[in-house]
A and B are shown apart, each in its own frame.
Chain A
Amino acid sequence: MKTDDLITALSRDAKHTGPSVHGRLALAVALGFASAFALMMATLGMRPDVTAASRNMLFDLKILLVATLAIAAVALVRAAARPEAALPKVVLLVPALILMFAIGHEVATQLPAALPRRLVGDKWAVCLVAIPLLGALPLAAILTAMSAAAPRNATLAGALSGLAAGAIAATFYGLHCTDDSPLFVATWYSLAIGMLAAAGAGIGRRVLAW
Protein backbone atom coordinates (compact mmCIF):
# COMPACT_ATOMS: atom_id res chain seq x y z
CA MET A 1 0.00 0.00 0.00
CA LYS A 2 1.22 3.46 -0.85
CA THR A 3 1.84 5.79 2.05
CA ASP A 4 -0.51 8.31 0.50
CA ASP A 5 -3.34 5.75 0.43
CA LEU A 6 -2.64 4.94 4.07
CA ILE A 7 -2.93 8.65 4.89
CA THR A 8 -6.25 8.88 3.05
CA ALA A 9 -7.54 5.83 4.92
CA LEU A 10 -6.39 7.18 8.30
CA SER A 11 -7.94 10.57 7.63
CA ARG A 12 -11.36 8.93 7.27
CA ASP A 13 -11.09 8.27 11.00
CA ALA A 14 -9.91 11.84 11.73
CA LYS A 15 -12.39 12.73 14.44
CA HIS A 16 -11.12 11.94 17.89
CA THR A 17 -13.75 11.05 20.44
CA GLY A 18 -13.15 10.89 24.16
CA PRO A 19 -10.76 12.71 26.44
CA SER A 20 -7.00 13.16 25.98
CA VAL A 21 -4.60 10.83 27.78
CA HIS A 22 -4.20 13.41 30.56
CA GLY A 23 -7.99 13.59 30.92
CA ARG A 24 -8.17 9.80 31.14
CA LEU A 25 -5.34 9.76 33.70
CA ALA A 26 -7.09 12.37 35.87
CA LEU A 27 -10.22 10.22 35.85
CA ALA A 28 -8.23 7.07 36.67
CA VAL A 29 -6.43 8.76 39.58
CA ALA A 30 -9.75 10.08 40.96
CA LEU A 31 -11.22 6.59 40.65
CA GLY A 32 -8.11 5.15 42.31
CA PHE A 33 -8.41 7.50 45.30
CA ALA A 34 -12.14 6.81 45.66
CA SER A 35 -11.78 3.02 45.39
CA ALA A 36 -8.81 2.80 47.78
CA PHE A 37 -10.66 4.96 50.34
CA ALA A 38 -13.90 2.99 50.02
CA LEU A 39 -12.12 -0.37 50.26
CA MET A 40 -10.09 0.77 53.28
CA MET A 41 -13.22 1.99 55.10
CA ALA A 42 -15.19 -1.15 54.20
CA THR A 43 -12.54 -3.65 55.32
CA LEU A 44 -9.98 -2.17 57.71
CA GLY A 45 -11.65 1.02 58.91
CA MET A 46 -10.06 4.17 60.28
CA ARG A 47 -7.85 3.71 63.34
CA PRO A 48 -9.95 4.35 66.46
CA ASP A 49 -7.74 7.14 67.78
CA VAL A 50 -7.54 9.04 64.48
CA THR A 51 -8.45 12.42 66.02
CA ALA A 52 -5.76 12.10 68.68
CA ALA A 53 -3.32 10.71 66.11
CA SER A 54 -3.76 13.74 63.90
CA ARG A 55 -2.05 15.77 66.63
CA ASN A 56 0.86 13.32 66.65
CA MET A 57 3.62 14.67 64.43
CA LEU A 58 4.85 11.24 63.32
CA PHE A 59 1.36 10.30 62.11
CA ASP A 60 1.06 13.61 60.23
CA LEU A 61 4.50 13.12 58.67
CA LYS A 62 3.57 9.60 57.60
CA ILE A 63 0.40 10.77 55.81
CA LEU A 64 2.20 13.80 54.35
CA LEU A 65 5.01 11.54 53.07
CA VAL A 66 2.79 9.07 51.22
CA ALA A 67 0.41 11.79 49.97
CA THR A 68 3.28 13.82 48.48
CA LEU A 69 4.71 10.60 47.03
CA ALA A 70 1.32 9.95 45.37
CA ILE A 71 1.22 13.47 43.91
CA ALA A 72 4.83 13.19 42.69
CA ALA A 73 4.20 9.78 41.13
CA VAL A 74 1.09 11.05 39.32
CA ALA A 75 3.13 13.96 37.93
CA LEU A 76 5.72 11.44 36.69
CA VAL A 77 3.05 9.22 35.11
CA ARG A 78 1.55 12.25 33.32
CA ALA A 79 4.97 13.03 31.83
CA ALA A 80 5.68 9.39 30.98
CA ALA A 81 2.45 9.28 28.93
CA ARG A 82 3.95 11.70 26.40
CA PRO A 83 6.83 10.59 24.17
CA GLU A 84 8.44 14.04 24.05
CA ALA A 85 8.22 15.00 27.72
CA ALA A 86 11.14 14.79 30.16
CA LEU A 87 10.35 13.16 33.52
CA PRO A 88 10.22 15.81 36.29
CA LYS A 89 12.24 13.62 38.67
CA VAL A 90 12.80 16.58 40.98
CA VAL A 91 9.24 16.15 42.38
CA LEU A 92 10.48 13.04 44.21
CA LEU A 93 12.68 15.30 46.35
CA VAL A 94 9.64 16.45 48.36
CA PRO A 95 8.73 13.01 49.80
CA ALA A 96 12.45 12.13 50.03
CA LEU A 97 13.18 15.20 52.19
CA ILE A 98 10.11 14.54 54.38
CA LEU A 99 11.30 10.96 54.94
CA MET A 100 14.85 12.08 55.76
CA PHE A 101 13.55 14.65 58.22
CA ALA A 102 11.23 12.11 59.85
CA ILE A 103 13.95 9.48 60.21
CA GLY A 104 16.33 12.08 61.61
CA HIS A 105 13.69 13.10 64.14
CA GLU A 106 13.07 9.46 65.10
CA VAL A 107 16.74 8.67 65.63
CA ALA A 108 17.26 11.87 67.62
CA THR A 109 14.27 11.41 69.94
CA GLN A 110 14.14 7.64 70.53
CA LEU A 111 16.52 5.54 72.58
CA PRO A 112 18.77 3.51 70.27
CA ALA A 113 17.57 0.29 71.93
CA ALA A 114 13.95 1.07 70.99
CA LEU A 115 14.67 1.58 67.29
CA PRO A 116 14.68 -2.08 66.10
CA ARG A 117 11.31 -2.75 67.74
CA ARG A 118 9.84 0.43 66.25
CA LEU A 119 11.12 -0.58 62.82
CA VAL A 120 9.47 -4.00 62.98
CA GLY A 121 6.30 -2.47 64.43
CA ASP A 122 3.06 -4.30 65.19
CA LYS A 123 1.42 -5.05 61.88
CA TRP A 124 4.05 -5.23 59.18
CA ALA A 125 2.40 -8.31 57.62
CA VAL A 126 -0.97 -6.54 57.35
CA CYS A 127 0.79 -3.62 55.71
CA LEU A 128 2.44 -5.87 53.11
CA VAL A 129 -0.90 -7.45 52.19
CA ALA A 130 -3.25 -4.47 52.53
CA ILE A 131 -1.34 -1.90 50.46
CA PRO A 132 -1.02 -4.13 47.36
CA LEU A 133 -4.71 -5.09 47.67
CA LEU A 134 -5.87 -1.48 48.10
CA GLY A 135 -3.64 -0.48 45.18
CA ALA A 136 -4.74 -3.17 42.72
CA LEU A 137 -7.78 -1.26 41.45
CA PRO A 138 -5.97 2.10 41.18
CA LEU A 139 -3.18 0.32 39.25
CA ALA A 140 -5.67 -1.25 36.84
CA ALA A 141 -7.37 2.13 36.32
CA ILE A 142 -4.09 3.97 35.69
CA LEU A 143 -2.76 1.30 33.32
CA THR A 144 -6.05 1.36 31.39
CA ALA A 145 -5.79 5.14 31.02
CA MET A 146 -2.16 4.75 29.94
CA SER A 147 -3.06 2.27 27.20
CA ALA A 148 -3.75 5.20 24.83
CA ALA A 149 -0.49 6.88 25.81
CA ALA A 150 2.82 6.84 23.97
CA PRO A 151 5.47 6.22 26.64
CA ARG A 152 9.10 6.09 25.51
CA ASN A 153 9.74 3.27 27.96
CA ALA A 154 6.78 0.96 28.60
CA THR A 155 8.40 -0.79 31.57
CA LEU A 156 9.24 2.49 33.29
CA ALA A 157 5.76 3.90 32.59
CA GLY A 158 4.26 0.75 34.15
CA ALA A 159 6.54 0.99 37.19
CA LEU A 160 5.58 4.63 37.71
CA SER A 161 1.90 3.67 37.42
CA GLY A 162 2.50 1.08 40.16
CA LEU A 163 4.32 3.67 42.27
CA ALA A 164 1.35 6.04 41.97
CA ALA A 165 -1.16 3.29 42.75
CA GLY A 166 0.95 2.13 45.72
CA ALA A 167 1.29 5.63 47.14
CA ILE A 168 -2.47 6.22 46.78
CA ALA A 169 -3.16 2.93 48.58
CA ALA A 170 -0.58 3.75 51.28
CA THR A 171 -2.17 7.16 51.93
CA PHE A 172 -5.43 5.48 52.94
CA TYR A 173 -3.79 2.48 54.61
CA GLY A 174 -1.89 5.03 56.70
CA LEU A 175 -5.19 6.23 58.20
CA HIS A 176 -5.82 2.69 59.49
CA CYS A 177 -2.28 1.71 60.45
CA THR A 178 -1.15 2.45 64.01
CA ASP A 179 2.55 2.05 63.26
CA ASP A 180 3.72 5.65 62.94
CA SER A 181 7.50 5.22 63.23
CA PRO A 182 9.27 6.63 60.15
CA LEU A 183 11.51 3.54 60.30
CA PHE A 184 8.44 1.33 59.93
CA VAL A 185 7.11 3.45 57.05
CA ALA A 186 10.48 3.52 55.29
CA THR A 187 10.74 -0.27 55.47
CA TRP A 188 7.31 -1.82 55.10
CA TYR A 189 5.45 0.86 53.17
CA SER A 190 8.34 1.04 50.69
CA LEU A 191 8.33 -2.72 50.29
CA ALA A 192 4.55 -2.83 49.73
CA ILE A 193 4.61 0.09 47.27
CA GLY A 194 7.61 -1.53 45.58
CA MET A 195 5.56 -4.70 45.04
CA LEU A 196 2.96 -2.66 43.11
CA ALA A 197 5.69 -0.85 41.17
CA ALA A 198 7.21 -4.21 40.18
CA ALA A 199 3.79 -5.53 39.15
CA GLY A 200 3.19 -2.32 37.17
CA ALA A 201 6.56 -2.69 35.43
CA GLY A 202 5.83 -6.29 34.46
CA ILE A 203 2.36 -5.53 33.14
CA GLY A 204 3.43 -2.24 31.54
CA ARG A 205 6.20 -3.95 29.58
CA ARG A 206 3.55 -6.05 27.89
CA VAL A 207 0.52 -3.78 27.60
CA LEU A 208 2.03 -0.30 27.22
CA ALA A 209 4.48 -1.07 24.39
CA TRP A 210 3.44 0.49 21.07
Chain B
Amino acid sequence: MRAGLAGDEGAYRRLLRELTPFLRTMARSGLARAGRPTAEAEDIVQDVLIAIHTRRSSWIASEPLVPWIRAILKHKLIDFLRRRGTTGHIDIDTFAEVIAAPAEEPGIATRDVVKLAESLPSGQRAVIRAMFVDGHNTQETASALQMSEGAVRVSLHRGLAGLAKMLRGSI
Protein backbone atom coordinates (compact mmCIF):
# COMPACT_ATOMS: atom_id res chain seq x y z
CA MET B 1 0.00 0.00 0.00
CA ARG B 2 2.85 2.38 0.85
CA ALA B 3 4.49 1.63 -2.52
CA GLY B 4 1.11 2.11 -4.20
CA LEU B 5 0.56 5.50 -2.58
CA ALA B 6 4.03 6.48 -3.78
CA GLY B 7 3.01 5.60 -7.34
CA ASP B 8 4.16 1.98 -7.80
CA GLU B 9 1.35 0.70 -10.04
CA GLY B 10 2.58 -2.91 -9.98
CA ALA B 11 2.77 -3.11 -6.20
CA TYR B 12 -0.65 -1.50 -5.86
CA ARG B 13 -2.20 -3.92 -8.36
CA ARG B 14 -0.62 -6.90 -6.56
CA LEU B 15 -1.97 -5.66 -3.22
CA LEU B 16 -5.53 -5.26 -4.54
CA ARG B 17 -5.32 -8.67 -6.25
CA GLU B 18 -4.14 -10.38 -3.09
CA LEU B 19 -6.82 -8.68 -1.02
CA THR B 20 -9.67 -9.67 -3.35
CA PRO B 21 -10.10 -13.34 -2.28
CA PHE B 22 -10.17 -12.20 1.35
CA LEU B 23 -12.79 -9.54 0.52
CA ARG B 24 -14.81 -12.09 -1.46
CA THR B 25 -14.83 -14.60 1.41
CA MET B 26 -15.85 -11.93 3.91
CA ALA B 27 -18.57 -10.58 1.60
CA ARG B 28 -19.92 -14.08 0.93
CA SER B 29 -20.06 -15.04 4.57
CA GLY B 30 -21.70 -11.71 5.42
CA LEU B 31 -24.34 -12.22 2.72
CA ALA B 32 -24.91 -15.83 3.72
CA ARG B 33 -25.41 -14.85 7.35
CA ALA B 34 -28.01 -12.31 6.23
CA GLY B 35 -29.71 -14.86 3.96
CA ARG B 36 -28.80 -13.03 0.73
CA PRO B 37 -27.64 -14.78 -2.44
CA THR B 38 -23.85 -14.93 -2.42
CA ALA B 39 -23.83 -14.07 -6.14
CA GLU B 40 -24.12 -10.47 -4.95
CA ALA B 41 -20.74 -10.72 -3.23
CA GLU B 42 -18.89 -9.40 -6.27
CA ASP B 43 -20.89 -6.14 -6.23
CA ILE B 44 -19.69 -5.60 -2.67
CA VAL B 45 -16.11 -6.59 -3.56
CA GLN B 46 -16.00 -4.04 -6.37
CA ASP B 47 -17.62 -1.36 -4.22
CA VAL B 48 -15.01 -2.06 -1.51
CA LEU B 49 -12.12 -1.92 -4.01
CA ILE B 50 -13.33 1.47 -5.25
CA ALA B 51 -13.70 2.66 -1.64
CA ILE B 52 -10.20 1.44 -0.77
CA HIS B 53 -8.95 3.44 -3.72
CA THR B 54 -10.90 6.67 -3.22
CA ARG B 55 -10.56 6.69 0.59
CA ARG B 56 -6.93 5.58 0.76
CA SER B 57 -5.80 8.85 2.31
CA SER B 58 -7.80 7.90 5.43
CA TRP B 59 -5.38 5.04 6.10
CA ILE B 60 -2.56 6.16 8.40
CA ALA B 61 0.67 4.76 6.95
CA SER B 62 2.01 3.84 10.40
CA GLU B 63 -1.09 1.77 11.24
CA PRO B 64 -1.75 -1.85 10.20
CA LEU B 65 -3.65 -2.10 6.90
CA VAL B 66 -5.92 -5.10 7.58
CA PRO B 67 -8.15 -3.52 10.28
CA TRP B 68 -8.69 -0.55 7.95
CA ILE B 69 -9.67 -2.85 5.05
CA ARG B 70 -11.90 -4.93 7.33
CA ALA B 71 -13.67 -1.78 8.58
CA ILE B 72 -14.29 -0.62 5.00
CA LEU B 73 -15.72 -4.01 4.06
CA LYS B 74 -17.93 -4.07 7.13
CA HIS B 75 -19.21 -0.56 6.37
CA LYS B 76 -19.99 -1.49 2.77
CA LEU B 77 -21.60 -4.79 3.70
CA ILE B 78 -23.87 -3.18 6.29
CA ASP B 79 -24.75 -0.44 3.81
CA PHE B 80 -25.52 -3.01 1.09
CA LEU B 81 -27.73 -5.09 3.37
CA ARG B 82 -29.54 -2.08 4.79
CA ARG B 83 -30.38 -0.82 1.31
CA ARG B 84 -31.94 -4.15 0.49
CA GLY B 85 -33.90 -4.25 3.71
CA THR B 86 -32.50 -7.57 4.82
CA THR B 87 -34.55 -9.31 7.45
CA GLY B 88 -31.76 -11.41 8.90
CA HIS B 89 -33.46 -14.60 7.77
CA ILE B 90 -30.90 -17.33 7.19
CA ASP B 91 -31.20 -19.68 4.25
CA ILE B 92 -29.39 -23.01 4.60
CA ASP B 93 -28.89 -23.27 0.81
CA THR B 94 -26.74 -20.17 0.75
CA PHE B 95 -24.38 -21.80 3.21
CA ALA B 96 -24.13 -24.83 0.94
CA GLU B 97 -23.26 -22.47 -1.87
CA VAL B 98 -20.47 -20.92 0.16
CA ILE B 99 -19.02 -24.31 0.94
CA ALA B 100 -19.35 -25.50 -2.63
CA ALA B 101 -17.94 -22.30 -4.14
CA PRO B 102 -15.42 -23.07 -6.85
CA ALA B 103 -11.84 -22.09 -6.16
CA GLU B 104 -11.62 -20.08 -9.38
CA GLU B 105 -14.02 -17.16 -9.19
CA PRO B 106 -15.37 -15.60 -12.36
CA GLY B 107 -15.22 -12.29 -10.48
CA ILE B 108 -18.10 -10.71 -12.32
CA ALA B 109 -20.46 -8.38 -10.48
CA THR B 110 -24.19 -8.49 -11.16
CA ARG B 111 -23.96 -4.83 -12.22
CA ASP B 112 -21.33 -3.95 -14.79
CA VAL B 113 -19.14 -0.98 -13.94
CA VAL B 114 -18.51 -0.04 -17.59
CA LYS B 115 -22.24 -0.14 -18.38
CA LEU B 116 -23.06 1.84 -15.24
CA ALA B 117 -20.49 4.45 -16.33
CA GLU B 118 -22.73 5.31 -19.30
CA SER B 119 -25.05 7.22 -16.98
CA LEU B 120 -22.26 9.40 -15.53
CA PRO B 121 -21.76 13.03 -16.65
CA SER B 122 -19.82 13.14 -19.94
CA GLY B 123 -16.48 14.32 -18.51
CA GLN B 124 -16.39 11.58 -15.89
CA ARG B 125 -17.59 9.03 -18.43
CA ALA B 126 -14.77 9.92 -20.84
CA VAL B 127 -12.13 9.55 -18.12
CA ILE B 128 -13.57 6.25 -16.85
CA ARG B 129 -13.73 4.91 -20.41
CA ALA B 130 -10.15 5.97 -21.18
CA MET B 131 -8.82 4.31 -18.06
CA PHE B 132 -11.09 1.27 -17.76
CA VAL B 133 -11.72 0.35 -21.40
CA ASP B 134 -8.82 1.84 -23.34
CA GLY B 135 -6.34 1.02 -20.59
CA HIS B 136 -4.69 4.43 -20.30
CA ASN B 137 -3.03 5.64 -17.11
CA THR B 138 -3.78 9.12 -15.72
CA GLN B 139 -0.97 10.72 -17.76
CA GLU B 140 -2.10 9.17 -21.05
CA THR B 141 -5.74 9.99 -20.30
CA ALA B 142 -4.78 13.60 -19.62
CA SER B 143 -3.06 14.00 -22.99
CA ALA B 144 -5.76 12.04 -24.86
CA LEU B 145 -8.56 14.21 -23.43
CA GLN B 146 -6.46 17.40 -23.34
CA MET B 147 -6.98 17.84 -19.62
CA SER B 148 -4.50 18.38 -16.81
CA GLU B 149 -3.57 15.30 -14.80
CA GLY B 150 -5.13 16.87 -11.73
CA ALA B 151 -8.43 17.35 -13.60
CA VAL B 152 -8.30 13.71 -14.72
CA ARG B 153 -7.87 12.60 -11.11
CA VAL B 154 -10.77 14.78 -9.94
CA SER B 155 -13.05 13.43 -12.71
CA LEU B 156 -11.93 9.87 -11.99
CA HIS B 157 -12.67 10.17 -8.28
CA ARG B 158 -16.05 11.77 -8.86
CA GLY B 159 -16.82 9.10 -11.45
CA LEU B 160 -15.73 6.32 -9.10
CA ALA B 161 -17.86 7.76 -6.32
CA GLY B 162 -20.83 7.78 -8.71
CA LEU B 163 -20.11 4.21 -9.81
CA ALA B 164 -19.83 3.06 -6.20
CA LYS B 165 -23.23 4.60 -5.51
CA MET B 166 -24.73 2.73 -8.45
CA LEU B 167 -23.01 -0.52 -7.46
CA ARG B 168 -24.57 -0.44 -4.03
CA GLY B 169 -27.89 0.30 -5.65
CA SER B 170 -28.66 3.70 -4.20
CA ILE B 171 -29.41 5.24 -7.59
**Residues in A lying within 8 Å of B, measured CB to CB:** 1-22, 24, 81-84, 148-150, 152, 210
Q: Quick one: closest A residue to B107, CB to CB?
A: A3
Across the interface, do A1 and B112 meet the contact criterion of CB distance under 8 Å? yes
Main secondary structure of the interface of B (DSSP, over half): helix
Across the interface, do A3 and B55 meet the contact criterion of CB distance under 8 Å? no
**Residues in B lying within 8 Å of A, measured CB to CB:** 4-13, 16-17, 20, 42, 45-46, 49-51, 53-61, 63, 67-68, 70-72, 74-75, 105-109, 112-114, 131-132, 135-138, 150, 153, 156, 161, 164
Q: Quick one: closest B residue to A11, CB to CB?
A: B13
CB-CB under 8 A for A22 and B49, given A7-B13, A150-B72: no
Question: What's the count of A-B pairs with C-beta under 8 Å?
Answer: 129
- Can you list 28 pairs linking A and B with CB atoms under 8 Å apart? A1-B113, A2-B107, A3-B42, A3-B108, A4-B107, A6-B50, A6-B132, A10-B16, A10-B49, A12-B137, A13-B131, A13-B138, A14-B5, A14-B12, A14-B13, A16-B6, A16-B7, A20-B58, A22-B60, A81-B58, A83-B68, A149-B55, A149-B58, A150-B55, A150-B58, A150-B75, A152-B71, A210-B51
Minimum distance in angstroms from B55 CB to a CB of chain A: 4
Minimum distance in angstroms from A7 CB to a CB of chain B: 4
**Which of A1, A22, A83, A84 makes the CB contact (< 8 A) with B114?**
A1
